[in-house]
Amino acid sequence: MTANNNLAVEARNETRITLSAKDHERLSTLARAAWKRMPGLAAGLSDELGRADILAEGRRSERVVCMNCEVEFRDDTTGRVQNVKLVYPEDADISKRRVSVLTPIGTALIGLREGDSMTWETLSGETRRLTVIAVRGLVLPKAAAEFATVAPHGRLELP
């Protein structure tokens, strides 16, 4: 690993991520299942999961990148802004802007909050930095939506 790559890994590990208990469980299973076929990508996802703050069962955070949400982010290296939906590998389709969590960019995005930045490495070994601009499309099950409240700070909180 080069000095630049060491800096990228250090910067990446400084950003805490947040995951729902359900996302953490499913992503842990995915990382284990992918270990033999894609060890590098599985290791990257496992590393992210290992440093995640895990919300209590049934709780989600509104402004955090989670599975099946839409995220707007900026590639700080190029300035390009993109909108994608973060999905499981079987639902990935780049032509529909559905990005697998089991890709370097997907792994970099999972668990970030709006405004967070993350350094990540492309498959070709290039170090990039991204910043989450907005998180949208968190669809709540009807039962959870009925019990959700708006906290004094204006953010949605779930039971």
Query: In residues, how long is the chain?
Result: 159
pLDDT at residue 24 above 80?
yes
Domain 3-157: state its class: alpha beta
Strand pairing of 17-19 and 52-54? parallel
Strand pairing of 117-121 and 149-150? unpaired
Side-by-side strand order, sheet with 81-87: 98-100, 81-87, 70-75, 127-136, 117-121
Domain ranges of the chain: 3-157
How far apart CA 17 and CA 123 sit, in angstroms, is 22
- 125-148 pLDDT, tens per residue? 999 999 999 999 765 444 344 333
The predicted model scores a pTM of 0.75
pLDDT at residue 158 above 80?
no
